[in-house]
Amino acid sequence: MPMGTPRVHAAPLVEMGPPLTPEEIRRYSRHLLMPQIGEEGQRRLRNARVCVVGAGGLGTPVLLYLAAAGVGRMGIVDDDRVDASNLQRQVIHGAADVGRLKVDSALDSVHRIDPSLDVVVHPVRLSVANVDEVLGDYDLVIDGTDNFPTRYLINDSCVRLGLPLVWGSIFQFDAQVSVFWGRPPAGSGVPPVQLRDLFPSPPPAGSVPSCAEGGVLGALCGQVGAVMATEAVKLITGAGSALLGRVLVLDGLESRWTQIPLVGGVVRMFAADPSEDVLGEACWVGAGSPGPRVPTLTAQQLKERLANSSADGAEWLLVDVREAGERTIVTIPGATAVPLGSILDGSGLEAIPRDRQVVLYCRSGVRSEQAAVSLLAAGYGDVAHLSGGVLAWIDEVDPSLTRY
- pLDDT class for 111, splitting at 50, 70, 90? very high
Structural Rg of the chain based on CA atoms: 24
* Residues contacting residue 47 through CB under 8 Å, at least 6 positions apart: 14, 15, 16, 17, 72
Which pLDDT belongs to residue 218?
A: 86
Do 66 and 125 reside in the same domain of the chain?
Answer: yes
Residue 77, H or E segment: strand 73-77
Residue 54 lies in a domain: yes
Range of the domain at 222: 22-280
Catalytically annotated residue among 51, 158, 221, 362: 362
Give the best-scoring range by mean pLDDT among 27-36, 213-222, 257-266, 367-376. 27-36
Q: What is the pLDDT of residues 68-84, one digit of tens each?
A: 999 999 999 999 999 99
Q: Is 51 a catalytic residue?
A: no
Residues 276, 270: Cα–Cα separation, whole Å: 13
Out of 251, 280, 309, a domain closes at 280
Comparing C-alpha atoms, which of 214, 211, 210, 206 is closest to residue 385? Answer: 206
* 39-48, 51-60, 263-272, 353-362: segment of lowest average pLDDT: 263-272
Q: Are strands 256-261 and 246-251 parallel, antiparallel or unpaired?
A: antiparallel
Do 65 and 26 reside in the same domain of the chain?
Answer: yes
Q: Is 362 a catalytic residue?
A: yes
Do 56 and 134 reside in the same domain of the chain?
Answer: yes
- CATH number where 333 lies: 3.40.250.10
Residues 392, 399: Cα–Cα separation, whole Å: 10
Which pLDDT belongs to residue 319?
A: 96
Residue 328 lies in a domain: yes
Sheet holding 296-297, edge to edge: 296-297, 383-386, 357-361, 316-320, 336-337
Do 275 and 345 reside in the same domain of the chain?
Answer: no
Catalytically annotated residue among 51, 158, 211, 221: 211
Do 217 and 109 reside in the same domain of the chain?
Answer: yes
The percentage of residues in the chain with a pLDDT greater than 90, rounded to a whole number, is 66
Q: Where are the alpha helices (DSSP H) in 162-217?
A: 195-198, 211-214
Which pLDDT belongs to residue 187?
A: 85
Which pLDDT belongs to residue 285?
A: 29
Which pLDDT belongs to residue 202?
A: 74
Do 170 and 187 reside in the same domain of the chain?
Answer: yes
Residue 5 lies in a domain: no
Residue 213 lies in a domain: yes
Do 103 and 46 reside in the same domain of the chain?
Answer: yes
Do 53 and 182 reside in the same domain of the chain?
Answer: yes
Which pLDDT belongs to residue 370?
A: 85
Residue 9 lies in a domain: no
Out of 259, 280, 301, a domain closes at 280
Out of 280, 314, 332, a domain closes at 280
Between 96 and 263, name the one with better pLDDT: 96
Comparing C-alpha atoms, which of 279, 281, 288 is closest to residue 153? Answer: 279
- CATH number where 27 lies: 3.40.50.720
Do 246 and 268 reside in the same domain of the chain?
Answer: yes
Per the structure, how many domains does the chain have?
A: 2
Between 376 and 291, name the one with better pLDDT: 376
Task: Give the residue-averaged pLDDT of 126-155.
Answer: 94
**Residue 280 pLDDT exceeds 70:** no
At 323, the amino acid letter reads E
Do 296 and 253 reside in the same domain of the chain?
Answer: no
Task: Give the residue-averaged pLDDT of 306-333.
Answer: 82
Do 235 and 329 reside in the same domain of the chain?
Answer: no
Q: What is the rounded average pLDDT for all residues in the chain? A: 87
Q: Where are the beta strands (DSSP E) in 262-389?
A: 296-297, 316-320, 336-337, 357-361, 383-386
Which pLDDT belongs to residue 276?
A: 40
Task: Give the residue-averaged pLDDT of 217-224.
Answer: 91
**Residue 288 pLDDT exceeds 60:** no
Residue 59 lies in a domain: yes
Q: What is the pLDDT of residues 165-200, one digit of tens each?
A: 999 999 888 899 999 999 999 888 899 999 999 988
Between 313 and 50, name the one with better pLDDT: 50
Beta-bridged to residue 167, according to DSSP, are: 143, 178
Do 264 and 310 reside in the same domain of the chain?
Answer: no
The pTM assigned to this predicted structure is 0.73
Which pLDDT belongs to residue 159?
A: 95
Burial 237-273 (b: 16+ CB within 10 A, else e): bbbbebbbbbbbbbebeeeeeeeeebebeeeeeeebe
